[in-house]
Structure 1
Amino acid sequence: MGSDVTLSCTISRLSDTVSLHWKSRDSSQQDNTDEIHLNNTVYLIARHVGAENQNLYTWEVQENDSIVLTGNTNVDVDQNLLNKIYTLYRPGTNHSELDLICEALSELNETKWTWRSSQFQNQEKEIASTIRSQPIDVNRTYFENRLVPTLGNFNDRSFSVRIVPVLFDDAGVYTCSLGSYKFVTIKLTTVKVTAEPSDTVTEGDTITLTCSVSDVTESMRLAWINSDGKTVGEKILNGGNREEKSLRLIVQKADRGRGNWICALFYQNTPKVLIPYYLKVNMRARPLPDIWIVTVLGYLLVKLVVAVGLICCLKRMNRKSNSGNPHKATGNETDDAQDAVALQTLNSDTDLRP
């Protein structure tokens, strides 16, 4: 009880009109699940199974949005937490939660939760404690207001606390103890996504997305998945001391509408953590033409039109004059003289500076 479970439903062929889905039969528990589609399989990650009877699930095959096949799955939950050790995986996001569940009968002994950080493994710190029928004392030194008890008083059985939201540095080992006896131990592994240069980029820029895991003790796999459900990058982690526990994805020339990715952590080919990442892309500002250039070009264009019109008028007047007076000089000399006057007028007008 309190651990996570991953359910999977696979179909032999997945056409464009067919889709797979998981859902909880208790609608109030939908927020404790994550769904991911990879190839012909849909996975459902259910968190803290068994708590509040959230162990009933349904899979569905839909064709053209109509259910054509369905089935129920029940998860058998062991209620006895004595000497249990299990691992939980959580994203370091604003919406993640961690329930530290301890169901233990304690009549006289002090019950407490301790935390040993992944960064300082030799230091075990007490984060919450209580005695029978007494208020739960929470130490806010390490988690501040993010650590809260699920019940006001210890009712001789349920001594559970919750961390909301979970941060990347919360990774480590959490232990519920009765006196000097360790009852249940929970190992927390966290995953986070960072972006450089920032979460918001301009269209055409290059950005680097990094998916990191806090601790690797066994073989794991990090993967980047695009909006089409296709893996665009992956890395196997084996837990070596010098091993870099992260996977980078370089997004070249960020484009609008293509800013959705998922960072996924797999353990033994089973997805454990999904972090959707939505990249905000701003439209690049288009440079405006220089106002002085526009002004000068417009001025010169007007002058050119005026000059051409003036030359055409002078030529027309010259032709009419020659046709009315045959004794007047004709030929190129008169035309050239009038053209020279027009050009001189144009030069005097255009010899201006903006």
Structure 2
Amino acid sequence: MPDALSRRTLIRSLAAAGAGVGALTLGLTACDPNGIEDPEAPAVPTGTPGPRRFGAEWEKHLRTVMSWPASETVWGDQLPDVRRDVAGLARAISAREPVVLMACPEQADAARKACGSAVEVVPIAVDDLWARDTLPVFVEEGGKVKGVDFNFNGWGGKQQRGNDSKVARAVLEKYGVERIETRLVSEGGSFETDGRGTLMVTESSVVNDNRNPGMSRDQVEAELKKVLGVTKVIWLAGVKGKDITDAHVDCLTRFAAPGVVLLDQAFPGGPADVWSRAADQARGVLRGATDATGKKLQVIELQQPDPDRITGRGDAFVSSYMNFYIGTKGVYLPKFGDDRADTRAQQTLKQYFPDREIVPVKIDAIAAGGGGIHCATHDIPALG
């Protein structure tokens, strides 16, 4: 194994070899795990008391949190390009809502310069950019925001996590948010909710011995209902061992509104593969499923761009439009370079978010690393 094992190299090797995840653990850290050095931030405000609820992403945010990628071990010579994409995304979101960017203390000044004065950079040591997975999953309970710490373990031991495994606690401490403990190991990209009690999950990313050895799907579901306050879990098969996340749901299907889901669709004409078959399986499940209120789901398929027209490349390149982020005033989705497909995706999202600006963002370096805009962002909800 080379010294500099990038995220996309790891994904490529998994796809080629079907490698067992337990043998790929890396123990290197990107920067010293220093504590939080900036002044205390205001606590997250409280709202109306009530039972535990996992809110939808389209609800109002207090702030968006992102991470400044730190590790040359992960990214190698692609790190400058990835940082450029992260900075561009942070600038786009910060034009419409507050953005906090976590950065290693020694990299904080460079991150501020790249992202601009509208982005608040806080010195919290991180390894990589995937804030969706390293932060807690925020819920509302008793009129307060609380955070479920899902014990991030580097997607089943596939990547270094000396700092990223501590990010959840660091953010909860910074904002004075109560930590909810769980025995489950998972990541924020594994879960998608309508805010009304329905949760969509890929079985491959949670019912997996690299995260939750010995736990059955029923046991995992019971714990998810307990810690997230959901009442209905829709299980999709996903794909094990072919990408670093074991097929997170946020690249496959997303809620666009209560009762409405968007589903990734492969560009026509290509050969069937594990991803298109996973989408086919998900389509069958979703068309026969109901949400927590008993309402049947409407499934809207959103086709991927033409692979011959996109501007990004790489064996691990993620060309799914599903990995978009719903901000308080904007919806941010990838701009891949196939003008027809990019426009179609933008128009589709505009139908469901007419009061938000649709903001296409070029993220070729992030996508080449196996992720997208949703993977790089995490919302803290606002109450009241």
- Do these two structures clear the TM 0.5 threshold for a shared fold by scoring above it? no
Higher relative contact order (CA 8 A, sep 6+): 2
More helix by share: 2
TM-score tier (shorter) = under 0.3
User: Under a length normalisation based on structure 2, what TM-score does the superposition of the two structures give?
Assistant: 0.26
